[in-house]
């Protein structure tokens, strides 16, 4: 399993936000700062343990606005759904 790096798209594996997508904005010590652009904005990121997330997609561009984060997450969700469909033989 790959360690999350800044700007990666991750899915939460634990907590009340389990199953939600986030973009890693930075790392602070042993924790990641993650945002989703809607509930957790760039001004107020969530601290999350790297053990509690899984990397879904790699992104090299730093988000400048919450809108860019939402667009990145939507694109990653579409790509993951398409990949899942191919794995299941539906697409």
Residue 73 included in any domain = yes
Residue 78 included in any domain = yes
* Sign of the Cα pseudo-torsion (74, 79, 85, 87, in order): negative
The tens digit of pLDDT for each residue in 50-85 reads: 999 999 999 988 999 999 999 999 999 999 888 877
Residue 45 included in any domain = yes
State the total domains in the chain.
1
d(CA 14, CA 2): 17
The tens digit of pLDDT for each residue in 40-56 reads: 999 999 999 999 999 99
What range does the domain containing 81 cover? 9-88
| Alpha helices in the chain, H assignment, sequence order | 66-88
Q: What CATH number should be reported for the domain holding residue 16?
A: 2.30.30
Burial class (CB in 10 A: 0-12, 13-18, 19+), 85: exposed
Residue 76 included in any domain = yes
8 pLDDT tier (thresholds 50, 70, 90): very high
Task: Report pTM.
Answer: 0.88
């Amino acid at each position: 399993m790959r360690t999350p790096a800044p700007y990666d798209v991750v899915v939460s594996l634990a907590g009340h936000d389990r199953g939600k997508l986030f973009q890693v904005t930075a790392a602070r010590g042993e924790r990641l700062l993650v945002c989703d652009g809607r509930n957790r904005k760039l001004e107020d990121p969530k601290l999350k343990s790297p053990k509690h997330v899984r990397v879904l997609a790699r992104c090299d561009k730093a988000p400048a606005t919450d809108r860019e984060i939402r667009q990145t997450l939507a694109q990653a969700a579409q790509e993951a759904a398409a990949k899942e469909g191919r794995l299941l033989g539906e697409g």
